[in-house]
Structure 1
Amino acid sequence: MMNKKDIPAKMLALQLKDPNLLYNCYMPFLEHGGLFVPTDDVFSLGEDILLAVEIADYPKRFLPTKVVWINPARTSAHRPKGVGLAFSEHESCLQAKNLIEAELGPRLRSDRTTFTL
């Protein structure tokens, strides 16, 4: 559980009920994993964000994250505007990473493009 002083001032929410959306948002190339969140809000690299995420039919999780990727606007590669959030070393992030990778299974090895790469 996070201490109150460790909770970031800004928060984003993301629902990942669809496996294709989960694949498009997951960022396995980050050390602890992460998620891309489509948003029109403006953030800075390195900014701490509390992510409220619902994965498949599992309960909502609150994850301490950091902005590490910014898509400024829809690109010709059909990538939406938004931010990539890196998971921290917090236990809740490790559990979320394991859950996401279990849900994605063999899709993790797909070479299909995502919202980031």
Structure 2
Amino acid sequence: MSASPSPVISLAPHVYGDVQALYQAYMPLFLEGGLFIPTTRELRLGDRVAIDIGLPDSPEPIPVTGTIAWITPAHAGAGRPRGVGIRFSRDSAQSGLRQRIEAQLGTLMASTLPTFTL
């Protein structure tokens, strides 16, 4: 008998109000893409999560599901806020999300400005 998948944890909605904020949170290292979400909630690597995110070009929140693939603890240094990195799921509803984010970021994708991730 196989184990049932872990439950999906709902996180509070998060809005990236401008392209700079989106750049600081975007995680291109994942094939599916991902975003850093500031939170004080105790989560573990591999936890499945759901969150509504707001992008600079989107008047409506976008539902996103994924797994926790990055954790920045409190007092991490370098001015990085506490939070988690969510690796987007590979479902068809989100298939264009990475491309949409990268289109908004445009030339910032090649920037060496600091981010909340690497």
TM-score (structure 2 length as normaliser)? 0.87
1:4 matched residue in structure 2: none
Deviation, 1:9, is 3.6
Greater radius of gyration (CA) = 2
Contact residue 55 and residue 61 of structure 2 kept, 8 A: yes
1:34 matched residue in structure 2: 34
Contact residue 102 and residue 109 of structure 2 kept, 8 A: yes
Range with bigger deviation, 52-61 or 25-34: 52-61
The one-letter code sitting in structure 2 at the alignment partner of 1:60 is P
Structure 2 distance, partners of 1:65, 1:110, is: 26
Specify every segment of 5 or more residues in structure 1 that has no aligned partner in the other structure, as ranges: 1-6
Contact residue 9 and residue 47 of structure 2 kept, 8 A: no
Matches within 5 A, 1:11-50: 11-50=11-50
Q: CA RMSD in A?
A: 1.4
Aligned with 1:12: secondary structure? coil
Specify every segment of 5 or more residues in structure 2 that has no aligned partner in the other structure, as ranges: 1-6
Structure 1 distance, partners of 2:77, 2:70, is: 17
Deviation, 1:47, is 0.1
TM-score (structure 1 length as normaliser)? 0.88
Structure number with higher helix proportion: 1
Structure 2 distance, partners of 1:42, 1:9, is: 11
- What percentage of residue pairs aligned between the two structures are identical? 33
Q: List, as ranges, runs of 4+ consecutive aligned residues in structure 1 with deviation greater than 4 Å.
A: none
Q: Give the length in aligned residue pairs.
A: 111
1:71 matched residue in structure 2: 72
